[in-house]
Amino acid sequence: MKVLITGGAGFIGSNLCERLLKMGHEVLCLDNFYTGSKNNIAEFLGNSKFEVIRQDISEPFLIEADFIINLACPASVPHYQKDPLKTMKDNVYGIFNVMENVRRLKIPVLHTSTSEVYGSPGVHPQPESYNGNVNTVSIRSCYDEGKRAAETIMFDYHRRYGADIKVVRVFNTYGPKMLENDGRVVSNFIVQALQGDDLTVYGNGKQTRSFCYISDLIDGITLFMENKSGFTGPVNLGNNYEFTVIDFAKLVISLTGSKSKIRFVELPKDDPIQRNPDLTLARKILGYNPKVDIEEGLKKTISYFKKVLKH
């Protein structure tokens, strides 16, 4: 197939480009390089099956493809809060622009939503049936509510026009090709540890997270791509191994061999206390099962950041 990946130069997008090229697909990478990196896709530029299109997702575009995967949106807190109105436009205008191409071409689309649609959850772990607990006026809302609105728009296209949609809710994911300054806990801790700085833990560190290695997430996305059952989702993808942020910080220090200490700072408003996917549906419908354990994934990610920080 010819697959369009919006946000294809980002962390998840570039890893997905690599996987789809290896599977023999043609890949169109659409990105405005706001948070995407040209370095992430440099290795594919000599591949005749790979093409780059510089385009802002919030502006209308026409494309020819057999399948669209929508990843375009700043996903880390500092990046999506830098210009919250732009973040909302990327989510809302962006999904309209994607879906108009889907409707015109009559092709399938897979949209990556987020675990942030659950907000600060009142149910744990979070199943897809949980409607969430999101503060509509928080500084995080441009992302949380933008992603919720995008899901709504997709399902309205599905109901009104019969659009072939697939919606994934992505939980915390890490691995090579992350930006070192993206403000996420994994990259923050690894970079701080490698540079000998204190690891910054928000609150008391007892909040929990679950982290999915990038290859496991890409496995889930490709399984969903190839699923012909008519299943639309939304479906959670991630890893349901859960531990506290403080324990995670200690693990990073241990694996890097760093002498860094842990420094506690104030917990940001509306930062979720618990985050863990219920993977029952993904296992049942897609046969999804994350394989990479946290130590193996972290060692690979630490190795990547060591190379990045040398340049």
Residue 86 gets the label, from left (phi > 0), alpha (psi -120 to 50) or beta, of: alpha
Residue 171's Cβ-count burial label (10 Å; 0-12, 13-18, 19+) is: buried
Catalytic residue among 80, 143, 157, 288: 143
Tokens 């997905």 correspond to 16
| Residue 56 and residue 85 in contact, taking contact as beta carbons nearer than 8 Å | no
Taking alpha carbons only, the member of 7, 52, 6, 3 closest to residue 26 is 3
What gap in Å lies between CA 201 and CA 244, rounded to an integer?
Answer: 11
Q: Is 118 labeled as catalytic in the residue annotation?
A: no
What gap in Å lies between CA 138 and CA 270, rounded to an integer?
Answer: 7
What gap in Å lies between CA 240 and CA 224, rounded to an integer?
Answer: 18
**Residue numbers annotated as active site:** 143
